[in-house]
Structure 1
Amino acid sequence: MSEPPRIELVPDRERGRGTTVVVNGAPQSHVDLSDPAYLLFEYVQHLAAVIDTLPSPLAAPPTSPLAGPLAVTHVGGAGLTLPRWINAERPGSPQIVLEPDTELTEVVRRDLPLPRRHRIRVRPQDGRTGLAALRDASADVVVVDAFAGGRVPPELTTVEMFTQVRRVLRPDGVLLLNVADEPGMRYAVRLLAGLRQVLGHVAVVATHEVLKGKRFGNLVAIGSGGPIDVDALRRRVTRSPFPTGVRDERELAGRLDAAVRFTDADASWSPEPPPMKGWRLR
């Protein structure tokens, strides 16, 4: 059997809308050019839910702080789904995307073009290199959504990585990480322990099935320099089409206290995903 093309843009005929960006046979992003607010994958909906609860320090009256622009840095770009959503929902948001795969970026920008008057800048750099070049306190939000072979690279989950992100974030800024884990969340707990050590406040968002250990799946880990509005986030995720929950630092405290944090000297890839037929990509 021949290998699939490295990069494919697959029309979503089942739903009659959008395109799935597939890299090495694995779905990476879903993009609907006619409606950038439409988010198919559940973890992207969870990232958006957190961002929906964040006030904008750049908003000027009469704009609501919850609708004003945010300065966002993305580690990982793929189809640029979340940057497109932020551009639509938070107009005027300056965004930097660190995506080292220049071939992927070229295909996406050519065949799934960005909207006019966007403020999205894509830099051909990996996360650690790109973050090191950014100014101190230049971002309200940093989103890490980068996978290789279906797994999160180890250098993106360490205390040293989070310390670099803390430098780039404003004092009450927020770091969001899309990670995948097995039932039991042992990998995610180690990551969250490092987040809490560096940023001070943590929470996690995922479907109830993942939080209850019923399946392998994606979780959005949240680290913040200021208190996380967990009540607002819980209200927001009730609008998710999939039953979704939030675990705050109080609920996670016992496991985080006992966890060994990832460092550059002791890091690991996220768990290997099951065969594609075992995933539920929504």
Structure 2
Amino acid sequence: MNPPESERPALRIDRDPDRPNLLHLVADEVVQATVDLDDPSYLDAEYMQRVAYLIDAMAEPKRPLRVLHLGAGGLAMARYVAATRPGSYQQAVETNQELVALVRAEAPLPRSVKVKIRHTDAREAVEAAPDASYELIVTDVYAGARVPAHVTSTEFLQEARRVLRAGGHYAVNLCDGGQMKFLKPALAAMGAVWPHTAVMAEPAVLRGRRFGNVVAVAADVELPVAALRRRCAGAAFPCRVLEGTELQEYIGGAPPATDATAIQSPPPPRSLRSF
């Protein structure tokens, strides 16, 4: 029997009533990640699926990658990379040691999945990383269901680009709604750092009519936009891909976020159980 709402911990893992090995990582009553212990390639969250579209398209199938995950969560993305690209070198950065301990205890990684976990701030980890040390950086950093300002600025993104190898890719999970005062400067900052950027999101979210996730990707080489469009169009919940002139028109002249001007993302509506 579940404890009363007031007695439940802020951070916990719930087992799906229909699939006991499907685990939901819940933080402050919002589902942050879902992990399938039977299938490490399973991604329940739509934004994670969109990140996976990039992972699938950025290199030939099954080729191992060097990946840095900023924000460990339930290590769902790390499990996906390990399942689809065996032999990949992966490192995950997470400040919340309680979260890591909970995942290790209740949703342990398969023995075949090797991920080094560091307990430090995402920005500090990037600033300390050697030049050209990763092929992919996935940023999924949240503090209290909000994206911190310091991982959206041009200064941070310049460090991320330094850490990527030539031809490497950057992916970030952002969220916003309404006037997009957080999202558009964050996207402008990515465009100021990389020559190629694109976003994947549902039209209602892009228009500010609904709070939700926007996955933004960037690289110093042409992005696999055609492949991303195909996957987004064929998804259970189809979404748009904006890039080039269309993306610039969407940003609409918003100034790039800097350390001096960046803000954290707005909190999700209280009624939202997952995003």
Moved over 4 A (4+): 14-17
Q: 3-state DSSP class of the match of 1:258? A: coil
1:53 maps to 2:57 = yes
Q: Which amino acid letter does the alignment assign opposite residue 137 of structure 1?
A: A
Write the deviation string for residues 46-72 of structure 1: whole angstroms up to 9, x where unpaired: 1111211111xxxxxxxxx23211111
Whole-Å separation in 2 of the counterparts to 1:183 and 1:70: 37
Whole-Å separation in 2 of the counterparts to 1:226 and 1:35: 32
1:28 maps to 2:32 = yes
Q: Which runs of 5+ in 1 are unaligned?
A: 56-64
Whole-Å separation in 1 of the counterparts to 2:217 and 2:242: 10
Write the deviation string for residues 18-67 of structure 1: whole angstroms up to 9, x where unpaired: 01011232221101110111111111111111211111xxxxxxxxx232
1:39 maps to 2:43 = yes
Q: CA shift at 1:254, angstroms?
A: 2.8
Q: 3-state DSSP class of the match of 1:167? A: helix
1:69 maps to 2:64 = yes
Whole-Å separation in 2 of the counterparts to 1:256 and 1:218: 16
Write the deviation string for residues 120-169 of structure 1: whole angstroms up to 9, x where unpaired: 11111110111122111011110110111111000010001101101100
Q: CA shift at 1:232, angstroms?
A: 1.4
Write the deviation string for residues 86-131 of structure 1: whole angstroms up to 9, x where unpaired: 1101111101100011111011112211111323111111101111
**Residues 3, 190 of structure 1: alpha-carbon distance in 2 compared, 3 angstrom cutoff:** farther
Q: 3-state DSSP class of the match of 2:6? A: coil
Q: CA shift at 1:280, angstroms?
A: 5.5
Q: Which amino acid letter does the alignment assign opposite residue 7 of structure 1?
A: L
**Could you tell me which of 246, 252, 269 is aligned with 1:251?**
246
Q: 3-state DSSP class of the match of 1:103? A: helix
Q: Which amino acid letter does the alignment assign opposite residue 45 of structure 2?
A: F
Whole-Å separation in 1 of the counterparts to 2:166 and 2:187: 19
Identical counterparts, % of pairs: 38
Q: CA shift at 1:81, angstroms?
A: 0.6
1:126 maps to 2:131 = no
Q: Which amino acid letter does the alignment assign opposite residue 37 of structure 1?
A: S
- The 5 A counterparts of 1:80-159 are 80-159=75-154
Give the conservation status (yes or no) of the 8 Å contact 1:74–1:96. yes
Report which stretch shifted further, 192-201 or 248-257.
248-257
Q: Which amino acid letter does the alignment assign opposite residue 188 of structure 1?
A: L
Whole-Å separation in 1 of the counterparts to 2:273 and 2:179: 17
Whole-Å separation in 2 of the counterparts to 1:247 and 1:16: 38
Q: Which amino acid letter does the alignment assign opposite residue 61 of structure 2?
A: L
Give the conservation status (yes or no) of the 8 Å contact 2:12–2:102. no
Q: Which amino acid letter does the alignment assign opposite residue 8 of structure 1?
A: R
Write the deviation string for residues 236-281 of structure 1: whole angstroms up to 9, x where unpaired: 2233211122111221123446111111111111122111x24564
Q: Which amino acid letter does the alignment assign opposite residue 180 of structure 1?
A: C
**Could you tell me which of 19, 23, 36 is aligned with 2:23?**
19
Whole-Å separation in 1 of the counterparts to 2:239 and 2:249: 22
Give the conservation status (yes or no) of the 8 Å contact 2:177–2:211. yes
Superposition TM-score, scaled by structure 2 size: 0.93
Q: 3-state DSSP class of the match of 1:2? A: helix
Q: State the number of aligned residues.
A: 271
Superposition TM-score, scaled by structure 1 size: 0.90
Q: Which runs of 5+ in 2 are unaligned?
A: none
